[in-house]
Amino acid sequence: MEKRTVLIVSDDAEFPRQISARWQSERNVPAFMLLGSGLGHGLDAMTFDLAIIGAGRGDAMRPALQALEAGGNPVIVVTDEAHLIPAVRREFPRAVAVHRYGGWTDTVVLLAIEVLRRVEAVNRAERAEQVSALMKCHATLGQYMIEMRHTLNNALTSVLGNAELLLLEPGAFSAGVLSQIDTIRNMALRMHEVLQRFSSLEKELTFAGQQSVKEQRAQAAVVGQ
């Protein structure tokens, strides 16, 4: 799991210190970015994975919340005023509001850890989708090559056969032309070898697929016993 970055937004210097101190007791400690409420709207959402806002009292953090909401990153809002939590949830759907009381640091850190796990899971799913899309493209290309193999092989056979016939009449051509015909023949042979390798790969992949199906069925049978 790659190291994550948590943005802490607060005008209270004690707020980030408390969160950071509590997080030290966990196995995985993220990198921290610290900003005040005037972070502005130019914050790059790619530079952090989660934002924690120390809202304190009043609407001082409202601009920061609006900027973070627009960025699309998950946000945890820690507020001193419990009655504001429903309003925060309504106005900022991505934000999770927590009341700052008692063991609030435990609540915030444990919640943040779960949010980061979800971020990691989403990232893995997105990477898997990208790999899957790429593999589908490769599979389509491979299938096309297999389908065209017979046509290419026929064309190569014709080229190779004609080159062989021309080489049987060395007196009909100059040395330079004969050299070019011989090059055509050799290149055709190399291309034929490549096509033969395609055939071998197809058989190997088919066999591997059949073996995989057999193993899955065997495992399913064992589980079902």
* 199 torsion bin: left (phi>0), alpha (psi -120 to 50), beta (else): alpha
CA dist 208 and 214 (Å) reads 10
The confidence score (pLDDT) of residue 180 equals 92
Same domain (yes/no): 66, 10: yes
pLDDT at 208 > cutoff 60: yes
Same domain (yes/no): 137, 91: no
Threshold 0.85, pTM exceeds: no
**Tens of pLDDT, residues 142-173:** 777 777 878 888 888 899 889 888 888 878 88
* Last residue of one domain, picked from the residues 81, 101, 121: 101
| Beta-carbon contacts of residue 101 (< 8 Å; ≥ 6 apart) | 82
Instruction: Locate the DSSP E strands across 38-165.
Output: 50-56, 75-79, 95-99
Is residue 181 situated within a structural domain? yes
Domain count, the chain: 2
What does each C-alpha distance from 71 to 49, 56, 78, 200, 224 come to in angstroms?
Answer: 11, 22, 19, 51, 48
| Residue 31 lies in domain | 5-101
CB-based burial label for 5 (10 Å; 0-12, 13-18, 19+): middle
The confidence score (pLDDT) of residue 148 equals 80
**Tens of pLDDT, residues 181-195:** 999 989 988 888 888
Is residue 109 situated within a structural domain? no
Is residue 125 situated within a structural domain? no
**Tens of pLDDT, residues 130-139:** 888 888 887 7
Is residue 156 situated within a structural domain? yes
pLDDT at 79 > cutoff 90: no
Closest CA to 87 of 60, 59, 47, 128: 59
Is residue 123 situated within a structural domain? no
Same domain (yes/no): 197, 135: yes
Cβ atoms < 10 Å from Cβ of 13: 9
Greater model confidence, 71 or 222 = 71
CA dist 108 and 115 (Å) reads 10
Is residue 90 situated within a structural domain? yes
pLDDT at 86 > cutoff 60: yes
The confidence score (pLDDT) of residue 56 equals 62
The confidence score (pLDDT) of residue 59 equals 64
- Give me the sign of the Cα torsion angle 197, 198, 202, 208: positive
